[in-house]
Structures are given as C-alpha cells and as structure tokens.
C-alpha cells in the first residue's frame, strides 16, 4: 500500500465501474491499495452476479444503511457485506451538517445490536467534534 497504513475504501456508483470492467477495476483497486468498496447504488440483492464477483475479490463489500431504512430490514440490507457497515447519518445531499441528529447514538446502537460487523456512522460530518461523536457512537473508529 505504498507506505500507507490507513485502510482505503472506494465509494462509487456501479456504472463507471462496469464501464471500466468489473474484474479489471477490482484488480486495479487492490493493486492500488484499496481494501474495500462501497457502491452507493447497489442495494443488497439488486445484482447478485456483481455481488458474487466482488465477494470473490480481496475487497470488502461495504453495505449502506440509511436513516430511512426500517429497522427490521437492517439484517437483510447488510447480508453479504464485509469489512463494516456504513450508516448514513442524515438524509439529504452531501455537504457539511451544522448539527448531527440527537438520535444518532441510539440509531447506531440499534444497528450494532443486529449486525455482526462494525458500524461506522458518516455523511455530512464536518467538524472534529462531530467526528468524535460519530466515532464514539459507532463504538468503532479508524484513523483517516
């Protein structure tokens, strides 16, 4: 990984990766030092063939949970994921948040209670204080 000890997770839409060539992209991503991939537009089960190819690669397949995901669907939504689960900490578009939702810690705790992978909260986190709170609420943190 060229001297870097911080795990690299690539966030992308699926279409550019398919245009590049899925197997070629995964191989090049691993060669470049990536350890995981989070496909923002690939819900669990939407394309089993793509999910299988990714799961056979060395990359972790990071699953997303939205604040609008019904709690009873969380185990299904995270099925087949590896590495960690990414919890989108707010609704809306990307960009800095003035304030995180007060319910964030409780939501992360509920998710942790039904998934075996670590849960990371992110999206719209823009200050060191917000990062520290999300990290503490997730009970799992990585540098970077």
Instruction: Answer yes or no: is 42 within a domain.
Output: yes
* Neighbour-count burial of 102, counting CB atoms closer than 10 A to its CB (0-12 exposed, 13-18 middle, 19+ buried): exposed
Instruction: Answer yes or no: is 29 within a domain.
Output: yes
Instruction: Answer yes or no: is 109 within a domain.
Output: yes
Output the pTM of the full model.
0.80
Instruction: Answer yes or no: is 24 within a domain.
Output: yes
Q: What is the pLDDT of residues 56-100, one digit of tens each?
A: 999 999 999 998 999 999 999 999 999 999 988 766 555 555 666
pLDDT given for residue 114 in this prediction: 92
pLDDT given for residue 61 in this prediction: 98
CA atoms within 13 A on the CB side of 55: 13
Q: Domain holding 23: CATH number?
A: 3.20.20.70
Instruction: Answer yes or no: is 77 within a domain.
Output: yes
CB 68 within 8 A of CB 42: no
How many domains are contained in the chain?
1
Q: 107 falls in which pLDDT band (50, 70, 90)?
A: confident
Instruction: Answer yes or no: is 1 within a domain.
Output: no
Range of the domain at 28: 8-138
Top-confidence residue, 4 or 42: 42
Instruction: Answer yes or no: is 16 within a domain.
Output: yes
């Amino acid at each position: 990984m060229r001297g870097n000890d911080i795990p690299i997770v690539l966030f992308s839409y699926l279409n550019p990766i398919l245009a590049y060539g899925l197997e070629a992209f995964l191989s090049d991503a691993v060669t470049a030092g990536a350890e995981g991939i989070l496909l923002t537009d690939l819900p669990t089960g939407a394309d089993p063939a793509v999910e299988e190819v990714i799961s056979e690669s060395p990359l972790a397949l990071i699953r997303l949970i939205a604040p609008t995901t019904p709690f009873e669907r969380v185990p299904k939504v995270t099925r087949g994921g590896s590495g960690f689960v990414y919890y989108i900490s707010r609704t809306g578009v990307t960009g800095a948040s003035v304030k995180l939702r007060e319910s964030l810690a409780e939501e992360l705790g509920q998710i942790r209670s039904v998934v075996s992978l670590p849960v990371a909260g992110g999206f719209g986190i823009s200050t060191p204080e917000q990062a520290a709170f999300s990290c503490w609420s997730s009970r799992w943190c990585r540098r970077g």
